[in-house]
Chain A
Amino acid sequence: MLFNSVDYLIFFPVVVALYFAIPSKWRWAFLLIASYYFYMCWKAEYVILILFTTLVDYFAALKMGQATSRKKKKPWLVLSILVNLGMLAGFKYFNFFTESINLLFREINILHPLPLFHIILPVGISFYIFQSLSYTIDVYRGIKQPEKHAGKFALYVCFFPQLVSGPIERPNHLLPQIHQPRSFDQQCLVSGLKLMLWGFFKKLVIADRLGMFVSYVYENPAENKGLPVILATVLFAFQLYCDFSGYTDIARGSARILGYDLMINFNRPLIAKSLRDFWNRWHMSLTTWFRDYVLYSLPYIKEKKIVFGKIYRNLIITFLLMGLWHGAAWTFVIFGLFHGVLLVLETITENQRNRFYELTRINDLPVLKNTLGMLTTFSILVFSLFFFRANSLSDSLLLLSNAVDFSNFRETIGYILKDNEVLFGMLMVVCLLVAEYLHERYDLIRYVSSRPLIIRWSVYIGFIFFVLVFGVLQKQKFIYFQF
């Protein structure tokens, strides 16, 4: 079920009404049923995968809880990791690895290709598997006590607002909330609805509108050259941000109405001043997951000394895996690798860059320094998105070479200026950036909330109908659903 569908507009109010109508002690069960129903609306049989993950991790954690030492816990952790990553490998990466092996076979004249499986990727598999894995790893590390209540643990794995595209929750954050009795809170209802409305604005008015132009360019890579290619990739950065953060806002808003607080996933990432800053602001629940469970797990000490070379290697490995998490394609591998290598370079050259800023006195002009940082980071991001968005590696290389071909500049600029959708989309991007800036500085929501009722309601109603009139209501899927 998509958030941007009539189905959800019916499903969600019904769930909220029934949720608060039934006795408090059964609410978790109702939410569990609603979550499974939400998932089954897409493909009913794939709910078995969620159930399987839930069962394996529930029992593995219980067994780890009974074990007296880390050594005895380890087999259960290994079981959980193997089952979860095995499922992920089977459903998401099998064909990618098989195709890569077949390609290698062809190169060395082995003419017996391995068979491919034609299976549909289960929506949200990367998200709920990572969420479930974080639980077993935390239990193994002793950060979290095993959850005794199977039903409540099942709800932790499949809580519908964040089931298919995150935020990837942590057991210490979400599980205690599931245990706490929830009662209706009118403040939560109001702020949740505001958050949902903001999410719908980002998704329907901006992301889906920009998506039309971006898709047109990226689906016809051979036919587009110069400005349209660059503009489409720049706009894709905003599309991706608005699509995913819009989803997160709707998810967090929905959860808040039900009385749950989900993690913040984005913090204005497109104004990041460095790559490190970017990854601290972008898809935070995923980056912190990889930091805590992958990066920190990789060895970096030799003879009781920190080896920086190993830290850099670990960083590259982590980002490579993070790229691969996004999708089973070489384009994502390159995307991850590119960011990993550049992050290492950014870290290594930090002292030299600081010295350069001192010598050129850029340090005395913080606005200039910040602007330079933002532009550089954004440019690096846009470059990497050539790989992220393209349908294949050959497409991304073709688009990269086409991007610097300005032979038909005059015609293309004419086309773009005639495209009202692109112009309106860009105007909305500017509005978004201004609104986010104002919100950070002056807390816009609080400001509007403190106005007299007539002004407040006019703003809300005006904004609701603005989204309804100017939204692209074609039920476009959220980009991160494919991951």
Chain B
Amino acid sequence: MSRKFAIRLILFLALLLVVNYALDRSFKAFSVHNTLNNMMDGQFAEYDDTLKYLALGNSHNCINTHILEKSFNYGSPSENFIQSYYKLKHILEKSGKKPGCVILQADISSFGPKISNRYEYNSYWISYIDYLELARIKDSRDILTKWMEGRFFSYVGNYKDIQLSILYRIKIRTLEMYHGYRPHRDYRNFAEETDKQKLARDKANLILSKESYLDPAIKVYFEKILQLCQSHGVRVIMVRMPMSKEFNEEEAKLVPADKLYTEVETIASRYPDFEGIFDYHLMFVDHPDYFFDPDHLNIKGSDLFTTQLAKDLKELESRGFPE
């Protein structure tokens, strides 16, 4: 190799590193998901009231914190039990805040392999997840590439996030967020869709798997959450969110729900601080107008659901819960 070529090669590689660094930093600062998640982190850090309820989960979690008093909705897009565990660990061990009760999302999709293998927004999760431990538990070296992605290459393959970030850049400035909850699903209504069944089927196939309903890693982390709560004296409630009639039908075709929840209850019942599963999945089957899409409530649906949840929790409180 000639000296001139070697110098050029080094220069070219250095230039690649510089551009990569610039793109990585820009993405981390610019990404709409990072902005939202960081906003939520900020609100949680500033939260100084009694924290009775801490809700975790993904976009299905639509608990309105205006309605459920003394609560914080810490759910984030695509979040699974693995990510929830690390976030909760961080909260309980490092934030100095202790919720009375953790509300976990108990939808069928929360337990399946598809959500277990979704590792999005690693540039946000890198500050929470112990990727080495996760790689060991999942017995997968691919997890380490997720760490690399989060650390150095956050923009790679994230064209959708970039597109969204450009579209929502202006909107995000006026975004309303209260204790983690943001009422934003108002621009579409599932009732107006012409082929609801197809939409529901597509969505169910996207997030559910016919082959397996309880992912081994999810099972491990579900138990870890229960153990963590047990060791910190935090009660646990699981909530199955309302779904549209069509989505429930499609879910039933793919996953044996009875078997799944029997297994979940068997695991959870070993932990005295587990309070039970609150099941709302059939709550709005006659109201497609309360849905944004097959599996997400809109603002009105969220409010009605949270009102019911708050009522049920009040009843539980009257029996001395949470302590």
Contact = CB atoms under 8 A, between A and B. Distances in A.
Nearest to A460: B12
B156 A6 contact: no
Interface in A153-195: 184, 186
B157 A465 contact: no
Contacts of B142: 475
Interface string A455-481: 001001100110011111111000000
Contacts of B20: 465
Interface size range of chain A in the complex: 20 to 34
Nearest to B141: A7
A460 B13 CA distance: 12
A461 B15 contact: yes
Contacts, number: 43
Given A186-B1, A186-B2, A469-B162, A457 B156 contact: no
A277 interface: no
Nearest to B197: A223
A94 B301 CA distance: 56
A45 interface: no
A411 interface: yes
Given A186-B5, A465-B19, A471 B157 contact: yes
A186 B4 CA distance: 11
B23 interface: yes
B224 to A, nearest CB: 27
Contacts of A6: 145, 148
Contact of A473 (B19, B157, B162): B157
Nearest to A468: B156
A184 B1 contact: yes
B254 to A, nearest CB: 13
B16 interface: yes
Contacts of B163: 420
Contacts of B16: 461, 464
Interface string A439-467: 00000000000000000010011001100
Contact of A468 (B1, B15, B145, B153): B153
B198 interface: yes
A148 to B, nearest CB: 33
Interface string A246-275: 000000000000000000000000000000
B1 A223 contact: no
B157 A469 contact: yes
B84 to A, nearest CB: 23
B86 to A, nearest CB: 22
B155 A469 contact: yes
B194 interface: yes
B201 interface: yes
Nearest to B8: A453
Interface string B183-204: 0000000000011001001100
A460 B16 CA distance: 10
Contact of B156 (A220, A411, A461, A473): A473
B217 to A, nearest CB: 18
Interface string A396-418: 00000000000000010000000
Contacts of A464: 16
A473 B155 CA distance: 11
Contacts of B1: 184, 186
Contacts of B145: 6
A184 B16 CA distance: 23
B319 to A, nearest CB: 48
B149 to A, nearest CB: 9
Given A457-B15, A465-B19, A223 B157 contact: no
Nearest to B27: A469
Contacts of B141: 7
Contacts of A184: 1
A411 B157 contact: no
B127 interface: no
Interface in B10-64: 12, 15-16, 19-20, 23
B158 interface: yes
Contacts of A186: 1-2, 5
A460 B205 CA distance: 39
Contact of B157 (A216, A460, A461, A472): A472
A469 B201 contact: no
A411 B195 contact: yes
A259 B141 CA distance: 31
| Chain B CB within 10 A, most for which of A184, A411, A468, A470 | A468
Contact of A223 (B15, B155, B162, B201): B201
A421 to B, nearest CB: 9
A163 B156 CA distance: 29
A22 B20 CA distance: 32
Interface in B80-131: none
Nearest to A464: B16
Closest 8 CB pairs of A and B: A473-B157, A6-B145, A186-B5, A468-B156, A470-B159, A469-B159, A471-B157, A186-B1
27 contacts: A6-B148, A184-B1, A186-B1, A186-B2, A186-B5, A220-B205, A411-B194, A411-B195, A420-B163, A457-B15, A461-B16, A464-B16, A465-B20, A468-B155, A468-B156, A469-B23, A469-B155, A469-B156, A469-B157, A469-B158, A470-B159, A471-B156, A471-B157, A472-B157, A473-B157, A474-B157, A475-B142
Given A186-B5, A465-B19, 9 more contacts: A184-B1, A411-B194, A420-B163, A461-B15, A465-B23, A468-B156, A468-B157, A469-B23, A469-B155
